[in-house]
Structures are given as C-alpha cells and as structure tokens.
Amino acid sequence: MERKVANIYEDTRELLNQVKDEFDFKSDDQAVKFLCQLFMADDRNELLKRYIEIKKKAGE
C-alpha cells in the first residue's frame, strides 16, 4: 500500500495527539483508521449525510 502524507492543521494535530496519548494508539494511521471505522459504523453518520444534503439544497 502506498503511503500518503496528510496535511493536518495545528489544532487538528493537537487533538489527534491527545487521542493517541489517551488511548495509546501507536501511530496516526492507527488512530485515524480506528476513528474513521467507528464513525462509518455508527448510525449517527446519517446526521452528517443529512446536513450535507440540506446545505447542498440551500445552495441551489
């Protein structure tokens, strides 16, 4: 698998480091992958989908 480098804002880096430290993730990849999988498996991701849909309609 090819490695890509993410451009992360300073405040996001601080938050990611906090998550890694508190939950003992060994790498950015491990933490981000876990958090993304958790979000995608959670029914609450539908809220974000609806929000995006409403914003698109409001912009039309």
Return the structure tokens found at 57: 């309609």
Residue 5 has a pLDDT of 86
Residue 4 has a pLDDT of 87
Return the structure tokens found at 35: 């958090």
Phi and psi (nearest 5°) for 44?
Answer: -70, -10
Instruction: Give the torsion through C-alpha atoms of 21, 25, 28, 31, to 10 deg.
Output: -110
> pLDDT per position in the chain (60 positions), as tens?
898 888 999 999 999 999 999 999 999 999 999 999 999 999 999 999 999 999 999 987
Whether the CB-CB separation of 17 and 28 falls below 8 Å is answered with no
Looking at residue 45, the DSSP 8-state letter turns out to be H
